[in-house]
Amino acid sequence: MFFVLYRSGIRHAYIIRCRLMTTSFAYKNPIFRNAGEGGLIVEFGTSLDEKVNNAVIVFEAALRELTLKGIIETMPTIKSVLIRFNPLILSPSSLRENLLKIIESRNWLEADPPKGRTLWHIPVLYGKDFGPDLAEFADLMGMSEDAAIKSHSNGRQRIYMIGFAPGQAYLGLLGPEWDIPRLPRVNPGVPAGSIMAAVRQTCIYATPNPTGWRVIGRTPFRGFVPESKVPFKLSAGDEVLFVPITVSDYKRLEYRAGNGTCVAVKESLP
């Protein structure tokens, strides 16, 4: 898969090869991969897996607390952390030495989730004009649209990463019945707030963009608010409960969101 990652308004692109597996395949020790002259990837495993992803998020949080001169920024992905650094200030060898000390300081795969995570209750209007691919998706799963909505909104989904576009969240894992491939074509543009599904994952578009995923609903919640002090509302490691709403609910919440109100309910996670 190809992701464009955003952090602090800066755009980066590199390849992440990630197999969707139900059985974790975590590395005993994280692997370093070069990412150009000023980039280093610390990879924790090969699969989309909660334990691997949690190690990524906890490790990245520890790096942000590190006062190592020369690190520009860190970005967590599904199974790795990208570290951007200034090689004129911090040599690659020195960076690796410091990272090895941190890696050896604890078992990151058994680490508790970082503090400060949020459970988001995000309202969604499923189906019809707001989710034009829901009927097809439900049919491919062998269930009714109502059953698909109930299945999708029935439990918490973990945010594995933010990437590709500003504030865009990748969540999972859904049940095996949701293991439906992406579309064979590209939809040239879907609106911000689109809720999409494919390969047991949910994707929340925070900005208008093309997509190859099936659009099953839309939320009035704004995940990317560039004029805000905190422009990116969702974070990797947060969890989401999708709450089905009606058309009248959507219009009311859309009006409030347009006036700057966060229409998702926030709940602190331990």
pLDDT in tens, 159-203: 999 999 999 999 999 999 999 999 999 999 999 999 999 999 999
Residues 240, 122 contacting (CB under 8 angstroms): yes
The CB density around residue 63, as the number of other CB atoms within 10 Å, is: 19
Does residue 188 share a domain with residue 261?
yes
Rounded CA separation 190/133 (Å): 12
What pLDDT digit, counting tens, does each position of 207-263 carry? 999 999 999 999 999 999 999 999 999 999 999 999 999 999 999 999 999 999 999
Does residue 79 share a domain with residue 190?
no
Per the structure, the complete domain to which residue 77 belongs is given by 2-110
Q: What total number of domains does the chain contain?
A: 2
Q: How confident is the model at residue 24 (pLDDT cuts 50, 70, 90)?
A: low
Residue 154 pLDDT more than 90? yes
Q: How confident is the model at residue 92 (pLDDT cuts 50, 70, 90)?
A: very high
- The pLDDT, as a whole number, for residue 224 is 96
**DSSP-derived secondary structure letter, 232:** B
In terms of Cα–Cα distance, which of 166, 13, 167, 161 is closest to 78? 161
Does residue 141 share a domain with residue 254?
yes
Q: Which of 57, 82, 110 is the last residue of a domain?
A: 110
Does residue 90 share a domain with residue 145?
no
Does residue 260 share a domain with residue 234?
yes
- The pLDDT, as a whole number, for residue 152 is 98
Does residue 128 share a domain with residue 248?
yes
- For 178, the token pair is 């949701």
Domain at 97, CATH number: 3.30.1360.40
- The pLDDT, as a whole number, for residue 136 is 96
Q: Which of 61, 85, 110 is the last residue of a domain?
A: 110
Burial status of residue 230 (CB atoms within 10 A of its CB: 0-12, 13-18, 19 or more): exposed
Burial status of residue 249 (CB atoms within 10 A of its CB: 0-12, 13-18, 19 or more): middle
- The pLDDT, as a whole number, for residue 25 is 79
Residue 1 pLDDT more than 70? no
The CB density around residue 268, as the number of other CB atoms within 10 Å, is: 9
Q: Which of 80, 110, 140 is the last residue of a domain?
A: 110
- The pLDDT, as a whole number, for residue 14 is 35
- For 69, the token pair is 């001169």
- The pLDDT, as a whole number, for residue 114 is 86
- Its pTM stands at 0.87
